[in-house]
Amino acid sequence: MYIDRQQIVEELRLRKLIRKAIRIAEAKRANKDEILAEEERLRKVIRHIIKEDEVGNTEESPYDSTGLNTLNTLFDNILKTIEVGYKELASSKEQRDSFASHMLKAVENTLAPLRALDKSDQLDEEIDIQLTGDKPEDMTDVRKDKDELDRENFGIEGEDLTGRDKAYETFNKVETQIVDAYKSLHNAEDVKAFYDGLLMNLDLYFKKFEDEMQPSVERPAAGDEVEAGLDADMSGGEMDLEDIADL
C-alpha cells in the first residue's frame, strides 16, 4: 500500500514514544502484576492508533493520480511477501540491510530497460552495436548452474550473502507484478509518480519493518540517577505523549 513519508515517520516516532512510556511505567511500579497490567493497557491504546493490518485494507482509488493508485494496488499485492522475507532474517541487522539494498537495486535494474524505452528521443544515442567477437573473460563458469549464476549477478559486492539470497528469492516472487504494473502506465507523470513512489516507499517500509522487530519493552537502568530523573519528570502528575516526546 502506498503511504506518504510523513505518515511512516510519525508512526516510527509513535512506536518509540510507546516504548518510553512502558519503561516509565515499569520504573514507577515494583509490583510485577501492576507492570504487566500497565503494559497491556498501553498496548491496547497503541493498537487503536496504529493499524497493523493496513495491507489490503485500502480505498479503491484513494489518490488523484493513476500512477499512485496503481502503486497502491501493487503494494496491496506484494508488501506482505516482502515483509515476510525481511523479517525472516532475524539473526542480524546486517542480513536485513543486505536484503533491503538488494531489493531496491533489483527494482532499479529490472525497470531500467523499460525506463530507457520511455525516453524514445535518447534511443539512438544509447544503442551501441558491438561488432567485436567474444572475449575469454566473458565466458561463464560452466561448473555453475543457471540459478547460481543468476544469484551472483543479482548480488551487490560486499553485502551479506544470506540477505542477498533471501532478497533474490523474494524478488522472484514479486518481479512480474512490479513489471506488469509499470508497463500498464503510459502517461509520463504517472510513470514518474509510480517509479519514485515505489523506491521511496520500499525504503520507508524497510525502516518500518526494522522498527517493528525491535524489542517492545526495554528494561530501565537501575540507579538513583534514573529514579531521580523519573521522579522529577512525573512529579507534576500523569504524563501524556507530548511530555514523553520531550524526554
User: How many CB atoms neighbour CB 238 within 10 A?
Assistant: 6
90: three-class secondary structure by DSSP? coil
Residue closest to 161 by CA, chosen among 171, 151, 147, 170: 151
Q: Are 81 and 173 in contact (CB under 8 A)?
A: yes
Question: What average pLDDT does this structure show over 97-118?
Answer: 94
Assign 141 a pLDDT band (cuts: 50, 70, 90): low
Query: How far apart are the C-alpha atoms of 74 and 79, rounded to whole Å?
Result: 8
Report the chain's mean pLDDT, rounded to a whole number.
Answer: 76
Q: Would you mind telling me the total number of residues written for the chain in this entry? A: 247
Q: Are 104 and 203 in contact (CB under 8 A)?
A: yes
Query: How far apart are the C-alpha atoms of 149 and 155, rounded to whole Å?
Result: 10
Cell of 20: 518510553
Q: Which of 12-16, 76-80, 172-176, 197-201 has the lowest mean pLDDT?
A: 12-16
pLDDT tens by residue, 58-75: 456 678 899 999 999 999
Query: Apex CA 193: angle with CA 53 and CA 200, to 5°?
Result: 55
pLDDT tens by residue, 193-214: 999 999 999 999 999 999 999 8
